[in-house]
């Protein structure tokens, strides 16, 4: 095995990576994921969204606020001063995730360390919030496909998930 | 549409449900989800886990601590005094999620409201933490299948997800 | 002076009141306050509210989430397991606060101690959030009239602010 | 209407403003507000303050600690690394707010974004804490006049509220 | 070895203890600890305390607020609805800890689980705060003797530390 | 008395120090402390540590996460963007603290203000967590010797505690 877990030191204990020697650079990360639900629940979210936007509006704010708490939730993450994090939702009408709501989060920072955990955390909590808001209609909803889509800046440069254009 | 979103009132604004009239009853919820990764990353997590247990040990603690923050993360959730929340991990060697690590969280409370959001939040943040701990080896990991598996207690009684024994 | 500050002991140091001997009873508190702004800012909030509801929608969620953090914000407050907290907004078209947005929060609990600080905190942070969302249009907005309107339950029974019907 | 709500995008959804392209500059913000109470309550706070300072001392610390949580309370606020935040109290003996305690907060940062929300949050929670500490004497206290007084640094330069010297 | 670590299960992983079957009973815990400092620093704290009480006043509030966060700080602790927590300070003029400030915290709850971690956390953070407030005078201060002094209620009944009357 | 308490202003009120004029420099702080326990409890921690590492593993994560919350726990501390914080444990077999577990935390930052409070907070909460994990075996454990060991960077340069090589 040539790879290594960057948070684990030679003796196997959990460690924060010291980012003190890294320069401040502009970094952007995009993450995405979906929640699949019954037609009934989906219709209620869509309708609830049409006049007042509260299901997705609540999930958006929950995701943005969670991104700001990433360093408080993920033990080895650095506390970061985000430039911004925002979330978009779309309804997936076809393909693997037809009947799903997709959440896509974009986070950015001018800093020493990557911002992908903030984007992934934002997506995760936004989807968990949708579950909470719609669970009276469908307890069997499933959250899937949470992943990093794209990453710019830092040592690893531009990275894009396979199969995403 | 006969269903309704319990957090949305007649005018479509987001609302907390008033649980004041509900009795305190024992409630249990089980949620589960997986993270799929490359063979290399999986081998590193397994090996890291064998001698010292830190990847999964860190993820377990992150998930437990996140469950206690559910009311702070999910806007319409009540702050709850959990009886307990615990997380188990297993390696999926076959089936839909072969090559994945499964996290299963069990949360319990003696209270007025269900505990499923705590179990789902615990699973989500445990998996996000595994992503963080292994991302140096594989940026393409995917978190999937986060769902409620079982729910006991409260008005809706015993509920079990389809396809789970 | 016959009154005394309940959080201050005989020697003048700050203290939490011990509520251990109090019974659990149903308690409700209603608080209210306003933010006064320029016509331009008010029109933007109204318009922003009409199609998508995001200014007030964001403020509502901020206020609800802040209420859940009251024990973390106000040093001598007990951490409480709220039954519910909700916020309503209205536009004041006449009277002392014409040209203002009013936020009214209702909090309830079945517990040993009053819930008025949660209602007041919810109103305060909801109004501060409106300031944040509209400050690009008007830096001179003023938040006023934050007060307890009504209180039910507990030793002091039913209390209502003077001048409120 | 020529103005626009900076946190709301073209489609009306709530958004964090991306501050990545802004330079780090020194910024200062001053905010102020009052709490009006009965003579009895005011006398108790004054007396409590004279020998031991605990009412205002507690409110001061609550306000300072709340300022550090602004990004956790106000959804679209950036998490900021404050240079400092401090709070002063004065007793208003005459004018519109005679019989009130005034809280004035000064916050400063060397950063990309303004610090006014931190000053306003500090004032708000300091006043809410005074309410909590004195509510056994007077439930009818009113919090008023919370506003930005002065702002230095950043694109908008030096701004001062009308009527403040 | 006949004892066992209550948070560690048969396979050695960290676990929260399920307190669901325990009855609600009144529980009290007292913890104590000291910080030893130079004569110069001690004199400044005493003098600072005499007129305005701010060093110890700040430490008191920090300790009380930290006690309310115990479940957020100590991974396997349950989130608890404290009845009260309070802190007293004294100056140790003789004995093992002459030249020290002692912090003693008393926490109480009517609940299913003990309150000793809240008392110990309150003492720890109160002392850490004194360090912070006085460190410009003495970087060599030492915090010692943090321990549980007394515990009432629950299965183990009345427990008192050896050597404490 | 020539010294002064840097957080206390001329009138004795608690204040955050304004660090706006300080340059960003690399700073490191090391703090340490011990917990002394019965032979039985120590053997259980050692054994629990040998196969799975969960007692110390849990304490390590608790300490790291607490360090990130220092600004939220210690009232006059600045919120800081840590470069890293890590914790090591050792078993003290001889000397003043024989029969103890020592926790040593190293924190670093590139910033305007020192990082010693983060290191001290990490040690304190790591030791409090060990207490929590082992208290079923020994309620009489004592936490001692929490102190700053070494400090590099900033105006005061290189500082080392007396008696530490």
CA distance E114 to A26: 48
Closest CA to B112 of B87, B79, B86: B79
In Å, how far from its chain's centre is CA D19?
Answer: 22
Which pair of tokens denotes residue C38? 């320029």
Residue ranges of E strands in chain C:
25-36, 84-92, 100-111, 142-152, 159-160
Which residues in chain E are contacts of D56 at CB distance < 8 A?
none
C58 and A61: CB-CB below 8 Å?
yes
Neighbours of B152 (CB within 10 A): 18
What are the residue numbers of the active site of B? 132
In B, residues 42-61, which contact F (CB 8 Å cutoff)?
A: 52-54, 57-58, 61
pLDDT of residue E47: 83
Average pLDDT, chain A: 89
Which two tokens mark F9? 């202003």
> C163's torsion region: left (phi>0), alpha (psi -120 to 50) or beta?
left
Does E119 have pLDDT greater than 50?
yes
Q: E75 to chain B nearest CA, in Å?
A: 6
Q: What CA–CA distance (Å, rounded) separates A162 from B18?
A: 46
Q: Are D5 and C136 in contact (CB under 8 A)?
A: yes
**Chain A CA closest to residue F71:** A79
Q: Does C83 touch chain B (CB under 8 A)?
A: yes
pLDDT one-digit tens code per residue, E92-111: 988 888 889 999 999 999 98
Nearest to D143 by CA among C103, C115, C68: C103
Q: Is the pLDDT reported for residue C72 higher than 90?
A: yes
Residue C82 near residue B72, CB atoms below 8 Å: no
CB B104 within 8 A of CB B87: yes
Whether B66 is in a domain gets the answer: yes
- The string of DSSP letters for D65-132 reads HHHHTHHHHSTTPPP---SEEEEEEEEE-SSTTTTEEEEEEEEEEEESS--HHHHHHHHHHHHHHHHH
What is the pLDDT averaged over residues F39-53? 73
- Which residues in chain F have their CB less than 8 angstroms from residue A20's CB? 26, 83-84, 108-110
Residue of chain D nearest C143, judged by CA positions: D146
Residues A35-51: pLDDT tens digits? 999 998 999 998 875 33
- Residue E151 falls inside a structural domain: yes
F92 annotated among ligand-binding-site residues: no
The pLDDT-based confidence of C52 (bands split at 50, 70, 90) is: very low
10 Å Cβ neighbour count for E23?
9
Number of Cβ atoms within 10 Å of the Cβ of F7? 23
pLDDT of residue E32: 98
Determine the residue of chain C that is closest to A61 in CA distance.
C58
Question: What pLDDT shows up at residue D49?
Answer: 53
- B137: nearest Cα among A4, D131, F55: A4
- Give chains near D: 3+ CB pairs under 8 A: A, C, E, F
Q: Between β-strands A25-36 and B25-36, what pairing exists: parallel, antiparallel or unpaired?
A: unpaired
Two structure tokens written together for E80? 């608890």
Cβ atoms of C76 and C18 within 8 Å: the answer is: no
Q: Could you tell me if residue C68 is inside a domain?
A: yes
Of F6, F45, F132, the CB nearest to E136: F6
Tell me the percentage of chain E whose pLDDT exceeds 70.
Answer: 90
pLDDT band at C128 (very low <50, low <70, confident <90, very high): very high
The model's pLDDT over B130-159, given as tens digits with 9 standing for 90+, comes to 999 999 889 999 999 999 999 999 887 899
Q: What is the mean pLDDT of residues D55-76?
A: 96
CA dihedral F77, F82, F84, F89 (to 10 degrees): 10
Task: Give percent of chain D above pLDDT 90.
Answer: 64
Both structure tokens of C26: 């149903």
- Give pLDDT, residue C48: 72
Q: How far apart are CA B81 and CA F96, in angstroms?
A: 41
* C3 found inside a domain: no
E-facing residues of F in 104-133 (CB < 8 A) are 116-117, 120-121, 124-125, 127-129, 131-133
Binding-site residues of B, in ranges, read: 76-78, 117-118
Does D17 fall in a domain?
A: no
Residue with more model confidence, A22 or C147: C147
User: D72 in contact with E at a CB cutoff of 8 Å?
Assistant: no
| Residue-level pLDDT at F49 | 53
Q: Dihedral of CA D13/D18/D19/D22: which sign?
A: negative
Whether D71 is in a domain gets the answer yes
**Over residues F108-120, mean pLDDT:** 94
Q: What is the pLDDT of residues D116-164, one digit of tens each?
A: 999 999 999 999 999 999 998 899 999 999 999 999 998 878 999 987 7
Residue C85 forms contact with B (CB below 8 Å): yes
- C118 marked among binding-site residues: yes
pLDDT over 60 at A78, yes or no:
yes
Q: Tokens representing F87?
A: 């914790």
CB contact under 8 A, B65 and E72: yes
pLDDT tens digits, residue range E71-88? Answer: 999 999 999 989 999 999
Is E31 within 8 Å of chain F by CB?
no
CB atoms within 10 A of CB B96: 10
**Residue C157: pLDDT band by 50, 70, 90 thresholds?**
confident
- Whose structure tokens read 């009144």? E26
CA angle B32, B38, B42 (to 5 degrees): 65
ipTM of predicted complex: 0.94
Mean pLDDT for all residues in chain F:
89
Q: What is the CATH number of the domain that holds F103?
A: 3.30.70.640
Using 50, 70 and 90 to split pLDDT, how confident is the model at F84? Answer: very high
Establish if F102 touches chain D: CB-CB under 8 angstroms. Answer: no
Q: What percent of chain F has pLDDT over 70?
A: 90
Q: Which two tokens stand for residue F52?
A: 């799975």
- Quick one: DSSP state of residue B117? H
CA distance C161 to C163: 6
User: Would you state the structure tokens that stand for residue F89, as one six-digit string?
Assistant: 């444990």
d(Cα D67, Cα D61) in Å, to the nearest integer? 10
> What's the total number of domains in chain C?
1
pLDDT of residue E3: 53
Give the CA distances from residue B145 to residues A35, B125, B149, in Å, rounded to whole numbers and listed in that order.
9, 14, 10
* Predicted local confidence at residue B18, as pLDDT: 87
Q: What are B40's two structure tokens? A: 């290399």
Orientation of helix E39-49 relative to helix E116-134, angle to 10°: 100
Tokens 């708490």 identify what position?
A69
Mean pLDDT along residues B116-137: 96
Kindly tell me if the per-residue pLDDT of E2 is higher than 80: no
| Whether A99 contacts chain B with CB within 8 A | no
Q: Out of C101-115, D1-15, D42-56, which region has the weakest mean confidence (pLDDT)?
A: D1-15
The two counts, helices (H) then strands (E), for chain F are 4, 5
Cβ–Cβ under 8 Å, residues F136 and E6: yes
Number of cross-chain residue pairs from C and E with Cβ atoms under 8 Å apart:
48
Which pLDDT score is estimated for A3? 52
**What domain range is F97 assigned to?**
25-154
Measured between beta carbons, the chain D residues lying within 8 angstroms of C156 are 139
Report residue D3's pLDDT band, with 50, 70 and 90 as the boundaries: low
pLDDT on residue D100: 96
B2 has a pLDDT exceeding 50: no
Judged against a pLDDT cut of 60, whether residue E50 lies above it is answered with no
How many angstroms separate the CA atoms of B63 and F58, rounded?
A: 12
Q: Quick check: E144 and F146 CB within 8 A? A: yes
Task: Give the count of alpha carbons within 13 A of D101, CB side only.
Answer: 29
Banded model confidence at residue A2, pLDDT cuts 50, 70, 90: very low
| Higher local confidence (pLDDT), E146 or F4 | E146
DSSP state of D153: S
- Residue E53 reports pLDDT greater than 70: no
Quick: pLDDT tens for B73-109. Answer: 999 999 998 999 999 999 998 888 888 999 999 999 9
Q: For B8-45, write each residue's pLDDT tens digit.
A: 665 678 888 888 888 889 999 999 999 999 998 999 89
* Mean pLDDT in residue range E51-77: 89
Task: Compute the distance between CA of residue E117 and CA of residue E107 in angstroms, rounded to an integer.
Answer: 9
Q: Let me know how many helices (H) and strands (E) chain B has, helices first.
A: 4, 5
Q: Is the pLDDT reported for residue D79 higher than 70?
A: yes
What are the angstrom distances between the C-alpha of A24 and each of A80, A111, D160, F115?
A: 12, 4, 34, 20
Classify residue C13: in a domain, yes or no: no
Collapsing DSSP states into helix, strand and coil, what is residue E32?
strand
According to the model, what pLDDT value does residue B71 have?
Answer: 97
Please report which helix (H) or strand (E) contains residue F55, including its range: helix F54-68
Task: Kindly report, residue by residue over A80-122, the tens digit of the pLDDT.
Answer: 989 999 999 999 988 888 889 999 999 999 989 999 999 999 9
Least confident of A2-6, E21-25, F7-11: A2-6
Max avg pLDDT among C50-59, C100-109, E150-159: C100-109
Q: Is the pLDDT of residue C83 over 70?
A: yes
Q: List the structure tokens of B126.
A: 């445990």
Which of residues A82 and C9 earns the better pLDDT score?
A82
Whether A135 is in a domain gets the answer yes
Q: Does position C1 have pLDDT exceeding 70, yes or no?
A: no
Q: Does E23 touch chain F (CB under 8 A)?
A: no
Compute chain F's Rg from CA coordinates: 17
């Amino acid at each position: 095995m040539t790879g290594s877990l960057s948070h684990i030191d030679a003796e196997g204990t959990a460690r924060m990576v010291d980012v003190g020697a890294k320069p401040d650079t502009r970094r952007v990360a995009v993450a995405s994921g979906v929640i699949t639900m019954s037609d009934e629940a989906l219709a209620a979210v869509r309708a609830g969204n049409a006049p007042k936007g509260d299901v997705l509006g609540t999930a958006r704010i929950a995701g943005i606020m969670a991104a700001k708490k990433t360093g408080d939730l993920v033990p080895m993450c650095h506390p970061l001063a985000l430039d911004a994090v925002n979330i978009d939702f779309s309804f997936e009408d076809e393909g693997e995730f037809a009947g799903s709501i997709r959440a896509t989060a974009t986070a950015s920072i001018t800093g020493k360390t990557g911002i992908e955990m903030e984007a992934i955390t934002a997506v995760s909590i936004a989807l968990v919030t949708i579950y909470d808001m719609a669970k009276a209609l469908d307890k069997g909803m499933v959250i899937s496909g949470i992943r990093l889509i794209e990453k710019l800046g830092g040592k690893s440069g531009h990275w894009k998930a396979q199969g995403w254009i």
